[in-house]
Structure 1
Amino acid sequence: MDHKTLIVIVGPTAIGKTALAISLAQHFSTEIISADSRQFFTEMEIGTAKPSAFELAQAPHHFINSHSIKQLFSTGDFELEALRILESLFKKQDIAILVGGSGLYINAVCNGLDELPDTDLQIREELNQRLAVEGLATIKAQLKQLDPEYFERVDQSNPQRMIRGLEFFLSTGHKLSSYQTHTKKKRPFNILKIGLNQDRTELYNRINYRVDLMMETGLLNEVEGLAPYRNYNALKTVGYTELFDFLDGNIQLQEAIDQIKQNTRRFAKRQLTWFRKDEETKWFEPSQTTEIINYILSKKD
């Protein structure tokens, strides 16, 4: 492991990425950059499973509570800001840590984003109006038909991602997936990727337990307080949309909780599908912290 190295920790939601990142940050006396696209937002606390105040005190973190749901913060913005932070960190130390389950944000830092043609903002506005009137289902169905490759790769519960793919096709006549060449930009640091996974039953139990804990610690109250902002893209995500449906009287509370668990499990499955495609990732179980540290140290030689 020559010169400066970025350790990247990936894996499905609830697998234990935060705990590992903190252990590694303490071992190597370094800092953590979060690549969880929902943990950026100050207003979304419980439903995003942010690191606790105790965990945040164990190691310096970046991009936790860094933005408001009212701000536009794109993947490209994240790439630029994260690279600026890494440039500063690498002046002081040889290792930094990037951790999260948002594949597009991880990819932006590691490989860079493709240059894309401009799209028609009027089409975006029309699609957002469709979303408000018809809901996400019709947009998802059309995108699946027009660009199934992109549809399968992204978070299908994220309206912003669905609209982006459909907007691109309707504006250019081309699939967004065809422009995602995955041509890597050269970074001035080495990248070492660590993946976390475990038996699926155990992972799903962890997800179900986490959702129950969120409800016990006030997720419903959090969602009620965010109701005036429910049309912001940040809130159109698992854990929030289901409880908005409950508050609207469309479903019972237990049904909403069950849907959160089911949708989170589906999201975890898609995350694993995404990350497993990267042959550079070395996989471990969450309990193998010592083995992971030894693996990182072995790359120094």
Structure 2
Amino acid sequence: MKSNKKRLIVVVGPTAVGKTAMGIALAKHFKTEVVSADSRQFYKEMSIGTAKPDTTELATVKHHFIDSHTIEKEYSAGDFERDALSLLDTLFEKHDVVVMVGGSGLFVRAVCAGLDDLPKAPTVVRERLNSVFEREGLEPLQLRLKEVDPDYYSHADIQNPQRVIRALEVYEATGKPFSSYRVREIVERPFEIVTIGLNMERQKLYDRINLRVDMMLENGLVDEVRSLLPHRNKPALLTVGYAEIFDFIDGKITLEEAVSRIKQNSRRYAKRQITWFKKYGDTVWFDSEDWKGILSFLA
């Protein structure tokens, strides 16, 4: 573990496991700052449904990439890779350690290993797939992805239309599965990367997820989603917690059904997050409350 290099401590794991709290605790311990790698917390218009750190948490240690962008402009993993690496150069001038926190596997991987050189699909392909999604929903696209690229289907967040459509775009444009492009060599970074995965007993995690969803509703999730209706087709809003409430607003399902689906889809997403982080990188796993074990490991 000892190195003369600067060190990036990356805290990953499933939704609701306690990554925010652990990131803050580590940042306080090392007297440093936190870089968020959550693909939805960038957007200042999305707060309740993304479980952003609250004002007290944000005041405890300095956070970056929270409320840093507007939903009116898409912000890709490639954009984040560029901006986060530039920020890290600056932070490492005054800190030996920086903490990065996030459950968005692609964004974490962008900083830690670099992104794959994926081909761009013709606009007509994307429009056709989006048209299918709008007319028939996500299920037929999920089934198509399972057929043409079972490897990516097995660990991707298939509840995220953006991910599903992007993978199908690549296949439709090239005839090769999306997963075949995700095999390039890891880019060597000029800093040491230590990845800590947080987990807990499955039922306890599910209970935390259910409680978090209930709190989101109490805190005004429906009103937040209503305010985002003009932007509902943005990729960041085609995600768990927002897509279901849009269906409720459209009268397709009841609020009770929407809440039930958010909880179910959040649990599914948590399982896929764990799968992702176990497959990619050298993640060392700890119980989310094992503070002493984590500090001992980092020492």
Map of 1:282 onto structure 2: 284
Map of 1:263 onto structure 2: 265
Deviation of 1:133 (Å): 2.4
CA distance in 2 between counterparts of 1:127 and 1:210 reads 33
Q: Which runs of 5+ in 1 are unaligned?
A: none
Deviation of 1:41 (Å): 1.0
CA distance in 1 between counterparts of 2:277 and 2:94 reads 30
Residue in structure 1 matching 2:145, options 136, 143, 150: 143
Indicate the larger mover: 288-297 or 70-79.
288-297
Map of 1:130 onto structure 2: 132
Specify the SS of the correspondent of 1:47: helix
Deviation of 1:68 (Å): 1.4
Map of 1:25 onto structure 2: 27
CA distance in 1 between counterparts of 2:96 and 2:195 reads 16
Deviation of 1:182 (Å): 4.5
Counterparts in 2 of 1:152-191, with a 5 A limit?
A: 152-191=154-193
Specify the SS of the correspondent of 2:135: helix
Q: Matched residue pairs, number? A: 297
Map of 1:67 onto structure 2: 69
Indicate the larger mover: 243-252 or 47-56.
243-252
Map of 2:123 onto structure 1: 121
Counterpart amino acid of residue 83 in structure 1: L
CA distance in 1 between counterparts of 2:19 and 2:68 reads 19
Residue in structure 2 matching 1:52, options 51, 54, 65: 54
Amino-acid identity (%): 53
- Determine if contact 1:21/1:32 at 8 Å carries over to the other structure: yes
- Determine if contact 1:111/1:182 at 8 Å carries over to the other structure: no
Map of 2:238 onto structure 1: 236
Indicate the larger mover: 78-87 or 245-254.
245-254
Residue in structure 2 matching 1:292, options 274, 291, 294: 294
**Could you report, residue by residue, the CA deviation over 1:128-167 in whole angstroms, capped at 9, with x for unpaired residues?**
2222222222222212211121222221121111111101
Specify the SS of the correspondent of 2:195: strand
CA distance in 1 between counterparts of 2:125 and 2:281 reads 37
Instruction: State the TM-score, normalized to the length of structure 2.
Output: 0.96
Instruction: State the TM-score, normalized to the length of structure 1.
Output: 0.95
CA distance in 1 between counterparts of 2:205 and 2:82 reads 33
